Amino acid sequence: MIGEPLYLIGFLAILIVVAFLYSSIGHGGASGYLGLMALFSLPMDVMKPSALLLNIVVAGISFWFFRKHKYFKPNLFKAFAISSIPAAFIGGYLNLNPLIYKKILGVLLIFAVLRMINVFGKPTNPKPFSFKLALVIGFCIGLFSGMIGIGGGIILSPIIILLGWGSLKEAAAVSALFIFVNSIAGIIGFSINGGSIPTEAFYFIPFALVGGILGSYYGSKKFGNNTLKYVLSVVLLIASIKLFLV
């Protein structure tokens, strides 16, 4: 279906929008790419490696912009990355049916959206940063992310914000680099297990670059915290719906 000109134009146009939205909050966009590729009936063997590759490109751009504007907290990133990188490699290597994990993640994301828009009241007494807890969180996110082909930022961002460990833009900066390294680990694990990156994925990169650069610029410099909060909430809601439907 995507080989037809009109469908291809539609796919690439939506790809730019997805990259823009996700990069504006420090995300690579894998969950959005997976939903888009499923909508256009791309084969399963194309979806996971393509999403990971686009994640690397867009998250890398997003990290550069947010770090440039001094929102990056290295110590916070290190705590999550130490355990998440090997876990993402393991998850990428494993070949498991991810349907049940997707449904669980969908429920958790809906809860995160409701919490972020203060449905349960504003957060009070945020916990101080815990290195040990961050290690556990990083491992769980990395393993899960590697298994289903996402970078993990869609899970990490709301956790950082809800625990009070960083602002929206600080969470975006940490999540962007987190996604970048986990996606690399995931795609290495995928390749070692005999997987290959499809040619189609490389054709998608220029369009993801356009959306990623624009989104990162506006997210790091132009958008205020309230704007980012609503964009993040919309992205999380879209991702959760996609997880239930795909």
* Nearest alpha-carbon partner for 30 in 196, 197, 180: 180
Which helix (H) or strand (E) segment holds residue 237: the answer is: helix 225-245
What element of type H or E holds 184? helix 168-192
Question: Could you give the angle at which helices 153-162 and 168-192 cross, rounded to 10 degrees?
Answer: 150
Q: Letter for the amino acid at 123?
A: P
pLDDT for residue 101: 65
3-state SS of 29-79?
CHHHHHHHHHHCCCCHHHHHHHHHHHHHHHHHHHHHHHHHCCCCCHHHHHH
Question: What's the CA gap between 185 and 150, in Å, rounded?
Answer: 11
Q: Give the model confidence (pLDDT) of 42-101 as tens digits.
A: 887 788 788 889 999 999 999 999 999 989 989 889 989 899 888 888 877 776 666 676
In this structure, are residues 186 and 89 in contact, taking their beta carbons and an 8 Å threshold? yes
Can you give the pLDDT at residue 134? 93
Q: Kindly give the confidence (pLDDT) of every residue in the chain, 246 residues in length, as a single tens digit, with 9 standing for 90 and above.
A: 555 777 788 899 989 988 998 898 888 888 778 778 877 878 877 887 888 899 999 999 999 999 999 899 898 899 898 998 888 888 777 766 666 766 766 776 776 677 666 654 555 556 788 999 999 999 988 888 777 767 777 788 888 888 888 888 898 899 999 889 888 887 887 788 787 888 888 989 999 999 999 999 988 888 876 777 777 777 777 777 766 776
pLDDT of residue 91: 79
pLDDT of residue 43: 82
User: What whole-number distance in Å separates Cα of residue 212 and Cα of residue 23?
Assistant: 5
Q: What is the pLDDT of residue 149?
A: 66
CA gyration radius for the chain? 17
